[in-house]
């Protein structure tokens, strides 16, 4: 656990310094699969929320370990469609920052709600993430390739969270996973403060 503390500290500090949700700059988004793949990896808000989904799924165990990472991209696609066709959703950036705060908090607090509640919560936040990126999608050169790259990167971030979350098999691992959830929640709080 001690050797993970410096990494958690650096992760938290960088996330808190990131300011506005950087993955959602709408200037000059264009490209195909590679652009779509890289886009979510350069927005701390998306990275930490996706990792939190995987962490929470692993923490909750089967079937949440696979269900939550499947629910998120499916509902995110729906939110993306809303963004593409121009249906507004209020406070999208606040919803995205809140996703990191709440999902990280669920891991940190070892929350174990019924599976349907966890899936509903993850799905609700997925709408905000999808909508933000859906509003950017019309500017992409190849919207289908861009979307595919985006979904693959999102899935890999979920898998990263699941892989780390599997440390819950040991008592020290549970502490490390809960600490990571706490760091994500703090980063989400920082993102929220940056929006004010």
In-domain check, residue 113:
yes
Per-residue pLDDT at 104: 96
> Of the spans 8-22, 88-102, 146-160, which averages the highest pLDDT?
88-102
For the record, the structure tokens of 65 come out as 């370990």
Distance between CA atoms of residues 158 and 44, nearest Å: 14
In-domain check, residue 61:
yes
Per-residue pLDDT at 1: 47
CA distances (Å), origin 172, targets 32, 186, 196: 42, 21, 37
Distance between CA atoms of residues 72 and 55, nearest Å: 13
In-domain check, residue 2:
no
In-domain check, residue 1:
no
For the record, the structure tokens of 195 come out as 């929006």
Check: pTM over 0.75? Answer yes or no.
Answer: yes
Distance between CA atoms of residues 39 and 85, nearest Å: 21
| 36-55 mean pLDDT | 89
Per-residue pLDDT at 16: 40
Domain containing 51: what range?
Answer: 33-195
In-domain check, residue 129:
yes
Model confidence band, residue 124 (pLDDT cutoffs 50, 70, 90): very high
- At residue 2, does pLDDT exceed 90? no
Query: Considering the chain, what percentage of its residues have pLDDT values greater than 90?
Result: 58
Residue from 40, 44, 56 nearest 162 by CA: 56
The count of domains in the chain is 1
In-domain check, residue 19:
no
Per-residue pLDDT at 29: 44
In-domain check, residue 49:
yes
Distance between CA atoms of residues 123 and 118, nearest Å: 8
DSSP category for residue 27: S
**Residue with the larger pLDDT of the pair 19 and 63:** 63
First to last CA, the chain: 34
Residue partners of 159: CB distance under 8 A and separation at least 6: 54, 69
- At residue 4, does pLDDT exceed 80? no
In-domain check, residue 81:
yes
Tens digits of residue pLDDT in 66-91? 999 999 999 998 998 898 888 999 99
Residue partners of 7: CB distance under 8 A and separation at least 6: none
């Amino acid at each position: 656990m001690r050797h993970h503390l410096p990494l958690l500290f650096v992760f938290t500090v960088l996330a808190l310094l990131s300011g506005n949700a950087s993955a959602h700059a709408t200037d000059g988004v264009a490209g195909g699969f590679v652009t779509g793949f890289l886009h979510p990896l350069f927005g701390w808000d998306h990275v930490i929320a996706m990792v939190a989904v995987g962490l929470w799924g692993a923490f909750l165990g089967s079937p949440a370990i696979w269900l939550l990472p499947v629910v998120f991209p499916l509902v995110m696609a729906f939110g993306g469609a809303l963004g593409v066709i121009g249906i507004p959703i209020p406070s999208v950036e606040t919803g995205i920052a809140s996703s990191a705060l709440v999902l990280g908090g669920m891991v940190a607090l070892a929350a174990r709600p019924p599976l349907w509640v966890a899936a509903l919560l993850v799905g609700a936040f997925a709408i905000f993430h999808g909508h933000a990126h859906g509003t950017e999608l019309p500017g992409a050169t190849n919207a289908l390739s861009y979307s595919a790259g985006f979904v693959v990167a999102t899935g890999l971030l979920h898998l990263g969270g699941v892989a780390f979350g599997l440390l819950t098999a040991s008592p020290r691992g549970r502490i490390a996973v809960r600490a990571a959830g706490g760091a994500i929640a703090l980063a989400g709080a920082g993102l929220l403060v940056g929006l004010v």
